[in-house]
């Protein structure tokens, strides 16, 4: 089975152009016989880079409100035209896809990881359980509905978003479903992926694939409220996509600064071999002492009964 991280620059706050970029990388993946490809966190339509740099917590600031409105307008819906086009491409190209999106639900944006199957379209939409630090000023808090694994090429595959990969119980929820390949998606930085990618591989005895994006503040549209304040800043977002084996060794070390597919051929037998001496939710677990309760209901603020 061949897997890949799509390390690329996405047109920021331009959903149509971002979807076209996804389509381009899906075609590249199919041409390279890739079975599964992962795109970075909020690849469509962009990470909220401005908040940290512009005093984003200032209450009732008109520029911050206009920035959020622009971000909300650029977000996509699960049944919107961009996702419909991508679902069709996944079906035609037969490449299972994890895609980080900014998901719009009424007046709220969620940081969501959509799993798209060639046979069954969107099979899960995992909303980030807890946005990190300044992200809480922009994204809603997710739920456990997307804590699911999917069968791809004989492997159970699951995914988490950015720093929730550091949440032990979130990882455990996927390991407990027999996860063989763990996908982590990031805004894009080798300083973020260098440690956790190998740690997850060792802890779960899984293949661990990290997908990160490239970004320059020069990519911010000129009509965005903080364009002039941000355009000249140096970006730390250099990609960092990487793949580690279930023994914790690099198959593809973090890649910096290059726009390309980061690929690897993986073997389910290697996962089974590494579980000889450690299986965190199997023979090395103590269900009589430690157990995890997982609520996978999709949470909403209203229930209508007619």
Residue with tokens 């909303």: 127
DSSP state of 273: H
What is the side-by-side strand order in the sheet with 181-186? 150-152, 155-161, 181-186, 207-212, 239-244, 250-256
* SS3 category, 42: coil
For residues 201 and 212, is the Cβ–Cβ distance under 8 A? no
* SS3 category, 178: coil
Q: Using CA atoms in the order 141, 147, 152, 156, what is the torsion angle rounded to 10 degrees?
A: 140
Q: Give the separation between CA 3 and CA 210, rounded to whole angstroms.
A: 11
* SS3 category, 140: coil
For residues 167 and 228, is the Cβ–Cβ distance under 8 A? no
Q: What angle do CA 104, 109, 113 make, to 5 degrees?
A: 80
For residues 178 and 164, is the Cβ–Cβ distance under 8 A? no
Give the active site residues.
41, 128, 162
Residue 172's contacts (CB-CB under 8 Å, 6 or more residues apart) are 280, 281, 292
DSSP state of 9: B
**Run of H or E including 269:** helix 268-274
Strand partners for 238: 214
By C-alpha distance, which of 77, 114, 112 is closest to 97? Answer: 114
Q: Using CA atoms in the order 44, 50, 56, 61, what is the torsion angle rounded to 10 degrees?
A: -90
């Amino acid at each position: 089975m061949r897997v890949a991280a799509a390390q690329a620059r996405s047109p920021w706050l331009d959903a149509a152009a971002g979807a076209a970029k996804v389509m381009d990388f899906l075609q590249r993946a199919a041409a390279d016989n890739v079975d599964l490809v992962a795109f970075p966190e909020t690849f469509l339509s962009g990470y909220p880079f401005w908040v940290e740099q512009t005093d984003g917590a200032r209450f009732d600031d008109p520029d911050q409100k206009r920035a959020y409105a622009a971000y909300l307008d650029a977000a996509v819906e699960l049944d919107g035209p961009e996702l419909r086009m991508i679902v069709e491409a996944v079906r035609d190209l037969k490449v299972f896809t994890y895609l980080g999106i900014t998901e719009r639900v009424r007046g709220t944006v969620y940081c969501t990881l959509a799993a798209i199957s060639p046979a069954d379209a969107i099979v899960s939409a995992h909303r980030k359980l807890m946005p990190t630090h300044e992200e809480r000023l922009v994204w809603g808090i997710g739920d456990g509905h997307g804590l699911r694994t999917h069968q791809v090429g004989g492997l159970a595959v699951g995914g988490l978003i950015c720093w929730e990969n550091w949440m032990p119980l979130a990882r455990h929820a996927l390991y407990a479903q027999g996860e063989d390949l763990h996908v982590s998606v990031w805004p894009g930085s080798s300083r973020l992926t260098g440690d956790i990618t190998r740690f997850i591989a060792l802890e779960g005895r899984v293949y661990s694939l990290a997908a990160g994006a490239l970004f320059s503040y020069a990519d911010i549209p000129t009509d965005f409220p903080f364009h002039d304040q941000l355009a000249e800043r140096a970006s730390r977002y250099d990609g960092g996509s990487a793949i580690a084996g279930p023994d914790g060794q690099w198959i593809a070390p973090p890649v910096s600064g290059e726009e390309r597919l980061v690929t690897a051929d993986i073997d389910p037998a290697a996962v089974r071999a590494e579980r000889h001496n450690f299986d965190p939710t199997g023979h090395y677990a103590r269900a009589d002492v430690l157990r995890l309760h997982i609520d996978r209901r999709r949470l909403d603020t209203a229930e209508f009964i007619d």
